[in-house]
Amino acid sequence: MSSIPAATRPLTAIRPETPGDFASIEALHEKAFGPGRFAKGAYRVRERADPVPELAFVATDAGTLIGSVRFSRVTIGGESALFLGPLAIDPAFAGQGLGVALMVQSLAFAEGLSATCCVLVGDLAYYARVGFKPVPPGRVVFPAPVDPARLLWHPLNRPEDTAPPVGNLEGARVA
C-alpha cells in the first residue's frame, strides 16, 4: 500500500487502456495470477478471440497502474457475445471495490455494442455484485474443462429475465 496518506495522494482513477499500458498490465497479470494462468481454459478462449479495445479499462493510483479489465469477442451458438477477463487488481489494493468499479464502467460501454450477453469463468459471490448469474445447465458449452458453477453470464441488450444463448462458446475474430 502507498505510504502517502490517503488524504494527500491522488485518488484512484479509471481510464481507457492505452498501448503504453501493455507492459504494466502484463506485470500486473503476473503478480495477480502467476504463471499458471496460461494453462486455464479461459486463456485458451482468449487466444482464439479478438480483444475489444473499447472495453479495456485500467485503474491507476498516483499514476501507477493497479487494475485492469479486458474483454474478448466470442460467439455462443453463433450469437455475438463478450468474454470478460482478465480482471486483475494489484493485491495491495484488493478489497477496495476497484474490480467492481472497472466492471461497472466497462459493462456500461458494452451495452452499446451488439453482443447479447457477457460470459466469464469466476466466483459467483464476487461477480454477482454487478449482476452476473450462473449459466443454466446445458445452455453454454465451454471449449475447455470448467466447473459449471463458475460459468457465469450477464445479459446485454436483452431483458434481464431471459437466458443466455444456447450452443458452443467460441472465440470470434473481426472480419
pLDDT band at 163 (very low <50, low <70, confident <90, very high): confident
- pTM for the predicted model, two decimal places: 0.88
Q: What is the pLDDT of residues 79-105, one digit of tens each?
A: 999 999 899 999 999 999 999 999 999
The bridge status of strand 13-16 relative to strand 140-141 is unpaired
CA distance 12 to 95: 14
Cite the beta strand spans of the chain per DSSP E: 13-16, 57-61, 64-76, 79-89, 117-121, 133-134, 140-141, 151-155, 167-171
Q: What is the pLDDT of residues 11-37, one digit of tens each?
A: 679 999 999 999 999 999 888 887 766
Q: What is the mean pLDDT of the chain?
A: 88
The domains of the chain, with CATH numbers, are 13-171 (3.40.630.30)
Any idea which residue has 459471490 for its cell? 125
